[in-house]
Structure 1
Amino acid sequence: MNPLTSPAAAPAPAPAPAPLDLTRIGPVLHVRLNPSGQDDVLGAAVLDALIAVLDDLHDQPDIRVLVLSSLGDDFCLGADRREYQDAVADDPTGAALRRIADKAHRVCQALENTHAVTIARLHGKVIGAGLALAAYCDLRAGADTCRFRMPEVGIGLAPAWGGAMGRLVTEVGAARIRELMLTCDEFDAHTAHRYGLLHKVAPLDGLDDTVTAWTRPLARRSPQALLLTKRMLTGFSKAARTTDSALLDSHLLAAQLTRPR
């Protein structure tokens, strides 16, 4: 075939962006969610990448702090419901969906148990699973323009992502979480601060300075002191929970989404 007259080869598809953007500055690791397009959601690819990063921290004891943020317009709009629907369509037994939900549980447990102090840097909307992910961080700073919501009941689901209900009740209090989960009301950064969900609120252009005010002294702390303090705080927190259904959340989610309509 004459190469001058043959049809042009179709351009190769652009590679998908990496689900996370990682930057290490000394003992501080910055982990940024890197959504493609407008999909600021937590899909399986993001969860797999977070699990890999958190597992790798076991071999990097010199990392003292992990800062979790997002490159998207929002921190996170929640779990990827289209992925849930596809998983149920492909496997009506719910097994595929349970595997995705189990990844969420692994991420949250890894955040809670890692030796590094974890900081959530929040901006834009922080919804559903995004709020749960932030709740598992040790410290949370949000821009004063943040908006939070737990919409699960409003879309016909019980909250079941990562085992976050127990964590949120411990962090914020049962009365507040009951109201927020049942009403699905949106609330702002100052309300989140008043409830204890945020430790600091700052203007968006000052949010990095607020995070740095934490990371600088933490980077100088004794790694052993940080680890033992985190272990103690986690132990007391879990002891305060009369029940913890986290291990059942993937089954609960699958049961709701695969039930006959």
Structure 2
Amino acid sequence: MNPPITPSAAPAPVREPVDHAETEPPAAVGLTRTGSVLHVRLNPSAQDDDVLSSAVLDELVAVLDGLHEQPDIRILVLSSLGEDFSLGGDRREFQETLAVDPTGATLRRIADKAHRLCQALENTHAVTIARLHGKVVGAGLALAAYCDLRAGADTCRFRMPEIGLGMAPTWGGAMGRLIAEAGAARVRELMLTCDEFDAPAAHRLGLLHKVAPLDRLDDTIAAWTRPLSRRSPEALVLTKHMLAGYAKAARTTDTALLDSHLLAAQLAQPR
């Protein structure tokens, strides 16, 4: 087994033993590497919630940036250690950030991290796989949509709740990506109604490629990773870039770069 992509540095010498569980906060993202497969797991225990906070975004971006120096990693599996895959963006952090910086500049920087993360997922050489369970909400669904392949437990529940919260869906270029993956008509319905939908519906929409019982979900992921790990790295990278290029060519416009400004502007408005 290969070591994780970012091994921890050895602790400094001390006279007395130190309980690192009490002195060091847990990482927001856990990493495990097996051969050419890197497992990236969201760790809600680091922040007491299954949300995509600024700390989570920072760690995910760092992992994807580090892949440039790890060309032998062919597959990245994104999952969560929590009860749910993700409950979306950290709205409490958004409000606290605006209270400190009412100009919205700090909030725009957080939103820009989301855009960089989604672009990094789309452009990385590794084939990205989302392993979904529990609730997959808002920004969590957008994050999963940027993965190349998506498998979900048959108990998954999905929702785009932004309009119901008085917001437009402006996280990481979510609208453009979801429309590209599932089609404008159905995404329009889901965003305007905020209706919850289940795993079979997500499969029909193309938001899930595979649905499996939760206890068989890892087997479903392995059925992808085993053959992918034997594919030519050059063929995988070229195919990924070709698919991304054709998808972007089909879009008449892409407003994803404006999302951070739109998010800050709408949250800064009095309610």
Q: After TM superposition, is the score higher than 0.5?
A: yes
Map 1:109-124; keep pairs closer than 5 Å: 109-124=119-134
Task: Give the CA RMSD over aligned residues.
Answer: 1.0
Query: Which residue in 2 is equivalent to 1:15?
Result: 24
The answer on 1:99 being equivalent to 2:103 is no
Query: Which residue in 1 is equivalent to 2:139?
Result: 129
Higher-Rg structure is 1
Query: Which residue in 2 is equivalent to 1:30?
Result: 39
Query: Which residue in 2 is equivalent to 1:51?
Result: 61
Map 1:74-89; keep pairs closer than 5 Å: 74-89=84-99
In 2, Cα distance between equivalents of 1:135 and 1:78: 13
Task: With the length of structure 1 as denominator, give the TM-score of the two structures.
Answer: 0.94
Q: Which amino acid aligns with 2:26?
A: P
Q: Describe the superposition over 1:170-212 as per-residue Cα deviations: whole angstroms up to 9, x where unpaired.
A: 1000001000000000000000001110000000000000000
Q: Tell me how far 1:260 sits from its aligned partner.
A: 3.2
Map 1:1-261; keep pairs closer than 5 Å: 14-36=23-45, 38-261=48-271
Q: Which amino acid aligns with 1:247?
A: L
Q: Tell me how far 1:38 sits from its aligned partner.
A: 4.2
In 1, Cα distance between equivalents of 2:270 and 2:76: 42
Indicate the SS of the match to 2:52: coil
In 1, Cα distance between equivalents of 2:255 and 2:183: 17
In 2, Cα distance between equivalents of 1:16 and 1:157: 32
Indicate the SS of the match to 2:112: helix
Query: Which residue in 2 is equivalent to 1:3?
Result: none
Q: Tell me how far 1:259 sits from its aligned partner.
A: 1.8
In 2, Cα distance between equivalents of 1:128 and 1:142: 16
In 2, Cα distance between equivalents of 1:147 and 1:172: 16
Q: Which amino acid aligns with 2:51?
A: V
Q: Tell me how far 1:13 sits from its aligned partner.
A: 5.2
In 2, Cα distance between equivalents of 1:177 and 1:234: 20
In 2, Cα distance between equivalents of 1:14 and 1:154: 40
In 2, Cα distance between equivalents of 1:105 and 1:196: 22
Q: Which amino acid aligns with 2:177?
A: R
In 1, Cα distance between equivalents of 2:209 and 2:93: 32
Indicate the SS of the match to 1:67: strand
Q: Tell me how far 1:15 sits from its aligned partner.
A: 2.8
Indicate the SS of the match to 2:41: strand
Q: Describe the superposition over 1:199-258 as per-residue Cα deviations: whole angstroms up to 9, x where unpaired.
A: 000000000000000000000101100000000000001111111000000000000011
In 2, Cα distance between equivalents of 1:58 and 1:90: 35
Q: Which amino acid aligns with 1:42?
A: L
Q: Which amino acid aligns with 2:145?
A: A
Indicate the SS of the match to 1:68: strand
In 2, Cα distance between equivalents of 1:149 and 1:166: 16
Q: Describe the superposition over 1:121-177 as per-residue Cα deviations: whole angstroms up to 9, x where unpaired.
A: 000000000000000000000000000000000000000000111111010000010
Q: Tell me how far 1:17 sits from its aligned partner.
A: 1.2
Q: Which amino acid aligns with 2:41?
A: R
